A and B are shown apart, each in its own frame.
Chain A
Amino acid sequence: MNQIFHPSANVIAKASIGVLIVLVGVLSVFLYFFVRSSWMTGVNISEPQPVPFSHLHHVRQVGLDCRYCHTSVEEAASANIPPTETCMTCHSQIWTDAPMLEPVRVSWRDNVSLEWERLHDLADFVYFNHSIHVNKGIGCETCHGRVDNMALPMKVNTLQMEWCLECHRNPAKYIRPTDEVFTMGYAETVPAGHDPLVEGHELVAQYGIEVGRLDNCSICHR
């Protein structure tokens, strides 16, 4: 009986194992970077919104506090996207004929919600709560970045689990005094020669944060 395979098939068979391993490696590396890319996470990409709302204008230039609009951030899971009434508190009187604000006026007149494009869309099996973070010294900018510099809303962190855990495993690195939570650019206000990490460990103890428990599954997944 003739042999079906030429002797060189042995070499090909062995080589293909090597090729397969290399392919798996390449694929793994590709996926590692792909799931972390802006294309997947939406980091630094601004979506079209009904109104091109500028935090830079309202926070930096007008000086509004975060809580003027995000009223429930200190006491609820959701920070609150303000109702049209909040916009109209000022814009019933100023910029009343700005074409940019027409959707706001339509919403107010017809009692129809403005439908903003959600940028920070956590998976539904994650139960994030703003109030606990804000009340325990995690600043707005720690997760949301320098919102006061954003002419258009944008997300600056991936919100992936590895990113959450980075802080949940070492909160001292990120914590700040509770009266600085709404401060933008806090790091620049820390005096030179002052080690934030030392203060961080003190605050973690002071606020009763149990670091060992923060990476329990059920802290975020219920």
Chain B
Amino acid sequence: MSKTVNKSLFGITLLIFLALLTSGCDLIPGRHMRDQPKLKPLAASTLFDNRRASQIPPANTVPRGEWYEFMSDEPFYTGRQNGEFIDIIPIEVNREVLLRGQERFNIYCSPCHGLVGNGQGMVVQRGFKQPNSFHTDQVRSQPDGYFYDVMTNGFGVMYSYAARVHPEDRWAIVAYIRALQFSQNVPLDSLPTEDRQQIESLVE
């Protein structure tokens, strides 16, 4: 075997070994590309005393810009006008909004209030204080803003859902609650004749 062949064989082998070393960068401790000096959401950080990378906004502050929006549309953001609950849903209610409301209701409300709003959700069955059913005259007669306010600020043992459900979605949920209430309280006369006869035949 000639000298040059031996040399190139040696060179190739060396290269293979070097390539293997670089492919193992992940294995080397202090891997700086992998763990860069930046903070991901909700990571721990030594920068602040409370060890949080994601800081909580100080109390009684609103994000820059949102204050004007908030002030310009108080009923939408608070469910109140001049201190009184509004009795109107300040967004357009259509099929899409109702379906969105249903989805959000099922995610955030149904664990306690139950899928039909009777207050018999799974968490209640496990010992949580039973909330009022939505299907009582007392709750039915509450203005729309009242439901929005309860979601926003909490009520009794119910915590605020303001951090979990956006204002638009809260109104969509109000719309869906109204649909639920209607579904359990439809006057018999308002039904088409066919449906009414069917129900009457069931009652007899």
In the assembled complex, A88 has its CB within 8 A of some CB on chain B: yes
Contacts of B127 in A (CB 8 A): 93-95
B163→A90 contact, CB < 8 A: no
B123→A90 contact, CB < 8 A: yes
A65→B106 contact, CB < 8 A: yes
Contacts of A68 in B (CB 8 A): 107-108, 111, 164
Q: How many A-B residue pairs have CB under 8 A?
A: 84
Q: Which of B33, B51, B129 contacts A125 (CB 8 A)?
A: B33
Q: Which of B1, B17, B27, B38 contacts A124 (CB 8 A)?
A: B38
In the assembled complex, A89 has its CB within 8 A of some CB on chain B: yes
Given contacts A68-B108, A124-B40, 19 further A-B contacts (CB under 8 A): A14-B1, A24-B17, A28-B20, A31-B20, A35-B26, A65-B106, A68-B107, A68-B164, A89-B159, A90-B123, A92-B157, A111-B50, A112-B51, A113-B44, A113-B50, A118-B43, A124-B33, A124-B38, A125-B33
In the assembled complex, A44 has its CB within 8 A of some CB on chain B: no
Contacts of B38 in A (CB 8 A): 124
A64→B111 contact, CB < 8 A: yes
B128→A94 contact, CB < 8 A: yes
Interface residues on B, range: 35 or more
Contacts of A71 in B (CB 8 A): 163-164
A27→B50 contact, CB < 8 A: no
B123→A78 contact, CB < 8 A: no
Binding site for A on B (CB under 8 A): 1, 9, 13, 16-17, 20, 23-24, 26-27, 33-36, 38, 40-44, 50-52, 106-108, 111, 122-123, 126-129, 157, 159, 163-164
In the assembled complex, A86 has its CB within 8 A of some CB on chain B: yes
Query: CB-defined interface of A92-128 with B at 8 Å, one 1/0 digit per residue?
Result: 1111000000000000000111010010000111000
Q: Which of B17, B40, B51, B111 contacts A63 (CB 8 A)?
A: B111
A124→B44 contact, CB < 8 A: no
In the assembled complex, A83 has its CB within 8 A of some CB on chain B: yes
Binding site for B on A (CB under 8 A): 14, 17, 20-21, 24, 27-28, 31, 35, 40, 62-65, 67-68, 71, 76-78, 80-81, 83, 85-86, 88-90, 92-95, 111-113, 115, 118, 123-125
Q: Which of A67, A80, A85 contacts B107 (CB 8 A)?
A: A67
Q: Which of A88, A89, A92, A113 contacts B51 (CB 8 A)?
A: A113
**Which residue of chain A has its CB nearest to the CB of B126?**
A94
**Which of B42, B43, B51, B127 counts the most A-chain CB atoms under 10 A from its CB?**
B42
Task: State how many angstroms separate the Cβ of B95 from the closest Cβ of chain A.
Answer: 15
State the majority secondary structure of interface residues on B.
loop
Contacts of A80 in B (CB 8 A): 41-42
A125→B34 contact, CB < 8 A: yes
Contacts of A28 in B (CB 8 A): 20
A40 to B24, CA, bound (A): 12
B34→A86 contact, CB < 8 A: no
7 sample A-B contacts, Cβ–Cβ < 8 Å, listed by A number: A17-B9, A24-B16, A24-B20, A71-B163, A78-B41, A85-B159, A124-B40
A78 to B26, CA, bound (A): 24
B107→A123 contact, CB < 8 A: no
Contacts of B108 in A (CB 8 A): 68
A62→B34 contact, CB < 8 A: no
Contacts of B20 in A (CB 8 A): 24, 27-28, 31
Task: State how many angstroms separate the Cβ of B20 from the closest Cβ of chain A.
Answer: 7
A92 to B159, CA, bound (A): 10
Contacts of B42 in A (CB 8 A): 78, 80-81
A95 to B127, CA, bound (A): 9
B50→A112 contact, CB < 8 A: yes
Contacts of A67 in B (CB 8 A): 107
A49 to B15, CA, bound (A): 44
A124→B41 contact, CB < 8 A: no
Task: State how many angstroms separate the Cβ of A121 from the closest Cβ of chain B.
Answer: 9
Contacts of A125 in B (CB 8 A): 33-34, 36
Q: Which of A64, A77, A78, A93 contacts B157 (CB 8 A)?
A: A93
